[in-house]
């Protein structure tokens, strides 16, 4: 009877063993899958944090660069206005000459009013005319269109402005076109003539 019970127990244990192993395997698989899902979730979260940081950096960069882009847009418009300013300046000079000869008063007054309006706009936008005449030539701010004979005192100095140059803020918007003085090089002395050898008397 005891042997019979022992055999029943063994059979029962054998029947339960595969079931326990299957449960353990299922738990292991579930654990691996859970770990995999957790890792994937962490990756997604880290990607989201990086995207958020990238977007924040992009937004800050745009906020920082926006004033510069607006400034460049204004600079382009102002640069297009300068040829008109040049023509008015030339007309002003001609009419001023006519006034000296007894005419052109009303036209000159009208041009003066236009120049005042230009000056207001230029000042408001940070545009400044260069004043190179009487100063040493600056290759970064001026372009040489002519050279005149100079002296020791004005050698390398700007003597005439052919087209106005302008600064926009601290940057050069358009270089000035100028004439500079150049001292003439001293003429080289003629080469000394070699004295022919004197023939000895016989």
The model's pLDDT over 50-79, given as tens digits with 9 standing for 90+, comes to 767 765 665 666 566 556 655 667 777 778
Q: State residue 65's pLDDT score.
A: 55
Average model confidence (pLDDT) across the chain: 75
Q: What's the alpha-carbon Rg for the chain, to the nearest Å?
A: 45
Q: State residue 167's pLDDT score.
A: 92
Q: Which of 17-31, 57-71, 100-114, 175-189 has the lowest mean pLDDT?
A: 57-71
Q: Is the pLDDT of residue 8 over 80?
A: no
Q: State residue 2's pLDDT score.
A: 47
**Alpha-carbon distances, residue 118 vs 4, 64, 106, 175 (angstroms):** 118, 30, 19, 19
SS (H, E, C) the chain: CHHHHHHHHHHHHHHHHHHHHHHHHHHHHHHHHHHHHHHHHHHHHHHHHHHHHHHHHHHHHHHHHHHHHHHHHHHHHHHHHHHHHHHHHHHHHHHHHHHHCCCCHHHHHHHHHHHHHHHHHHHHCCEEECCCCCCECCCCCEEEEEEEEECCCCCCEEEEEEECCEEECCEEEECEEEEEEEECCCCCCCCCCCCCCCCCCC
Q: State residue 18's pLDDT score.
A: 55
Locate 99 and state its tokens. Answer: 């006034």
Bigger pLDDT: 110 vs 153: 153
**Residue with the two structure tokens 């600064």:** 167
Bigger pLDDT: 144 vs 80: 144
Q: How far apart are CA 80 and CA 168, in angstroms?
A: 13
| Band of pLDDT at residue 7, cut at 50, 70 and 90 | low
Residue 122 near residue 156 (C-beta atoms within 8 A):
no
Q: State residue 177's pLDDT score.
A: 94
Q: Which of 37-41, 120-124, 175-179 has the lowest mean pLDDT?
A: 37-41
Which CATH code of 3.40.1360.10, 3.40.50.1260, 3.90.380.10, 2.30.22.10 fits the domain covering 128-186? 2.30.22.10
Mean pLDDT computed over 14-19: 54
Each residue of 79-138: pLDDT tens digit? 877 887 887 888 777 777 777 766 656 777 777 788 788 888 888 888 889 999 999 999
Domain ranges of the chain: 128-186
Q: State residue 161's pLDDT score.
A: 94
Q: State residue 202's pLDDT score.
A: 45
Number of neighbours of residue 151 by Cβ within 10 angstroms? 11
pTM of the model: 0.52
């Amino acid at each position: 009877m005891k042997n019979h019970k022992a055999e029943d127990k063994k059979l029962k244990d054998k029947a339960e063993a595969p079931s326990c192993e299957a449960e353990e395997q299922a738990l292991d698989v579930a654990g691996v899958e859970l770990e995999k899902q957790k890792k994937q979730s962490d990756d997604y979260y880290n990607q989201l944090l990086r995207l958020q940081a990238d977007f924040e950096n992009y937004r800050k960069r745009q906020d920082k660069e926006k004033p510069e882009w607006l400034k460049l847009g204004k600079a382009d418009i102002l640069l297009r206005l300068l040829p008109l300013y040049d023509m008015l300046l030339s007309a002003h000079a001609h009419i001023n000459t006519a006034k000296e000869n007894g005419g052109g008063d009303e036209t000159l007054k009208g041009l003066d009013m236009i120049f005042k309006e230009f000056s207001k706009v230029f000042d408001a936008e940070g545009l400044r005319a260069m004043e190179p005449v009487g100063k040493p030539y600056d290759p970064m701010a001026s372009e040489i269109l002519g050279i005149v004979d100079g002296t020791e005192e004005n050698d390398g100095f700007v003597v005439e402005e052919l087209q106005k140059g302008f600064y926009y803020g601290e940057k050069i918007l358009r270089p000035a076109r100028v004439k500079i003085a150049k001292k003439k090089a001293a003429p080289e002395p003629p080469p000394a003539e070699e004295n022919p050898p004197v023939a000895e008397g016989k």
